[in-house]
Structure 1
Amino acid sequence: MGAHASNTKRIWQVFAYLSILTIIEVVLGIFKPDSLFHNGVFGLSFLNWIFILMTIWKAYYIMWAFMHLEGEKASFRWSIVAPMFFLIIYITCLVLIEGDYVYEVFQHSTMKWIF
């Protein structure tokens, strides 16, 4: 029974941690502080960078806790986390680049798009 109690406690700790991160994201999304929303780097506002980094952090923490990576050897952890990390960065860059391209095409297009 003691093992269940510790696992239950661990699940509630992970739930609390992920809930706090999600609440921070929601509050930032609702209030959009001007200092974060109107200033940025690499074409993105600091607020967007915060959302991207917090999402990656939450994904890593979910893998850490629920895939039980915290108890594994460092080399095995990195063999799982590193490819995911680079894949997430790659996909994020593609979405941002292509999204900006589509936005520019629609902004400067002389054609009428029918949707």
Structure 2
Amino acid sequence: MTTQEERDLPYDVFSRACPSRGTLEHVTGRWGALTLGALYEGRFRFNELRRRVDGVSEKMLSQTLHALERDGLVHREAQPTNPPRVDYELTPLGREVAGRLIALIEYLEGSMDQVLAARERYDGRVA
């Protein structure tokens, strides 16, 4: 739970006690970044999202979505249907954060030839 004292302090992610550090971990962790990136494409049901984020387990996706929802980045909407339908989408804050992540993802994807060449040079020196 966030205290008034925590809200009154200036936020500094480099400070061990700063609450922004936890959010940064949720956003930049492997599954958080991929989940936000996928949700940037639109609204998904849980299993659709799991298929889109290839390799994530059901447990990890569930934990990731809970953390992102708690941080106010993801909205979860349960439909009272049979069977139950649950949809996930980005909040306005989540959309802003995901947009910045998408820019980084696109930059990295566009730079992979350089990265792979650097890895090859490095591995040649180490071997």
- Whether TM exceeds 0.5 here: the answer is no
Larger relative contact order (C-alpha < 8 A, sep ≥ 6)? 2
TM-score of the aligned structures, taking structure 1 as reference length: 0.31
Structure with more of its chain in strand, by fraction:
2
Larger Rg: 1
TM-score of the aligned structures, taking structure 2 as reference length: 0.29
Structure with more of its chain in helix, by fraction:
1
